[in-house]
Structure 1
């Protein structure tokens, strides 16, 4: 009986339809695809960040005050609004799916450009702030080719980068 249950569990967990629905959903796919294309960011990376940040809950709020699907801090949202010349910004609008994905995807694009396409550094900056990443680069003598996320000194950021990269592998497999 245990072997049957174990086999059934394995089948369910390996079933791609199950994984798409329960483990790696792709809610708001049209919006994600639109802004990923607009800002030249990998679509599955955006979905992976959303899964890690909010599990696709548009009303998510962190203990630090980050808001929405991509968990944007109000100060970061305000700064993004000035960069993209969006006069319609308000903190409450960070819960709006369209605005949150637009801002978060633009910010990912900005970080990827800043870190010359290095996803590990860009994701670390998305989570811990670009200032921390530059400090680590200087302190630990990392260059722009740094890839070993296990060396990131903040445990939360290290786990975040690992989770997003693992999510992206699954999204790449499930949503080719």
Structure 2
């Protein structure tokens, strides 16, 4: 089973998960869903790297983080990609009051779409949570990321023990 759930960059994942108050297993699950740990992965929508960031998102995040000299060529660098991706995921979690489902939807489909869905009674009965996710790709993405996160916790329960301080 572990062959289906690769692990790499665990020190980097832990460092940036901690900096951004994220569950490192969620970061692993997201990386598996996004790139399956291929550091130079590039999607048909031109998202790049382990955490599949678009150039525009990466540039925006790098600016918010105060990263001097950032170029999108650096998105294939695991350290840079994980740093930006973790900051962005934390930003989305903060934007949606810690709601992981909404944050993952926004990571995949964009905040603009999530905000539209929340204001549409076909998808949200209360304007705060989603009753349905209208994009099948996004629904699958959220389900897979959550499944992968649980599997990583189950398969590697002590992965982050003794790493860092």
TM-score, structure 1 normalization: 0.84
- The answer as to 2:132 corresponding to 1:146 is no
Counterpart CA distance in 2 for 1:110 and 1:172 is 23
Which protein has the larger Cα radius of gyration, Structure 1 or Structure 2? 1
Which has a greater percent of helix?
1
Equivalence for 2:109: 128
**CA deviations over 1:85-120 (Å, ceiling 9, x no partner):** 111210110111100000000000111111111110
Counterpart CA distance in 1 for 2:90 and 2:78 is 18
- May I ask how many residue pairs the two structures share in their alignment? 155
Q: CA deviation at 1:142?
A: 4.7
Counterpart CA distance in 2 for 1:89 and 1:124 is 26
Structure 1: runs of 5 or more not aligned:
1-18
Q: CA deviation at 1:145?
A: 5.6
Structure 1 runs of 4+ aligned residues shifted over 3 Å read: 141-145
Matches within 5 A, 1:20-99: 20=2, 22-99=3-80
Equivalence for 1:5: none
Q: Bigger relative contact order, structure 1 or 2, given CA contacts below 8 A and separation 6+?
A: 2
**CA deviations over 1:48-80 (Å, ceiling 9, x no partner):** 000000000001000111000000000000000
Structure 2: runs of 5 or more not aligned:
158-165
